């Protein structure tokens, strides 16, 4: 069952980046609704359906401010994505987790346990992990900055190699898997 009414006027653009082709969906108000990666369209569509019911975005060119902020991020201005206005469906708990993700500065990481404690739900580590995995706005809602309790990389909806690339781009510390 969808968690929110479908937003008006969803549009999709494909934007080349050094980390691969990004898929962005925004609404008629210019709010970013989805950021995902080419090759993960089925996951993206599943998240869209889960949040809004069956929707089919039209193809278009992303708003200039969104394109500019993403280009600046990949050019090294790591805080530029902090200015991108977003909106999501999701449950209240998921939206709480996603808001907390936006508070993790570029170049830093948190474990699922640290994130759970920070939102006042220290025993909800698994629920935080599930919410992290259901994040429809990867990169901008930086779920890639969440790592294992031992500092190791954990799963990422865009693939572990891309997560490694993003964290390296941001200068974050993490451990490589043995």
Catalytic residues: 143
Distance of alpha carbon 115 from alpha carbon 9, whole angstroms: 33
Q: Under DSSP, is residue 13 helix (H, G, I), strand (E, B) or coil?
A: strand
- Residue partners of 4: CB distance under 8 A and separation at least 6: 51, 52, 88, 89, 90
Distance of alpha carbon 52 from alpha carbon 172, whole angstroms: 34
Comparing CA positions, the residue from 148, 143, 167, 122 lying closest to residue 47 is 143
């Amino acid at each position: 069952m969808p968690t929110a009414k479908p937003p008006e006027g969803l549009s999709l653009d494909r934007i080349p980046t050094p980390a691969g082709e990004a898929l962005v969906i925004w609404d008629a108000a210019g709010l970013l609704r989805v950021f995902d990666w080419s090759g993960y369209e089925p996951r993206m569509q599943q998240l869209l359906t889960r949040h809004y019911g069956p929707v089919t975005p039209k193809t278009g060119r992303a708003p200039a401010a969104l394109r500019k902020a993403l280009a600046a991020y990949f050019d090294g201005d790591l805080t530029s994505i902090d200015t991108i206005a977003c909106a999501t469906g999701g449950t209240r708990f998921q939206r709480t987790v996603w808001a907390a993700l936006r508070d993790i500065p570029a170049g830093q990481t948190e474990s699922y346990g640290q994130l759970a404690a920070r939102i006042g739900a220290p025993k909800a580590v698994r629920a935080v992990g599930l919410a992290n995995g259901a994040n429809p706005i990867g990169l901008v809602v930086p779920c890639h900055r969440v790592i294992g309790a031992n500092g190791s990389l954990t799963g990422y909806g865009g693939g572990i190699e891309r997560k490694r690339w993003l964290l390296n781009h941001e200068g974050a510390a993490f451990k490589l898997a043995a």
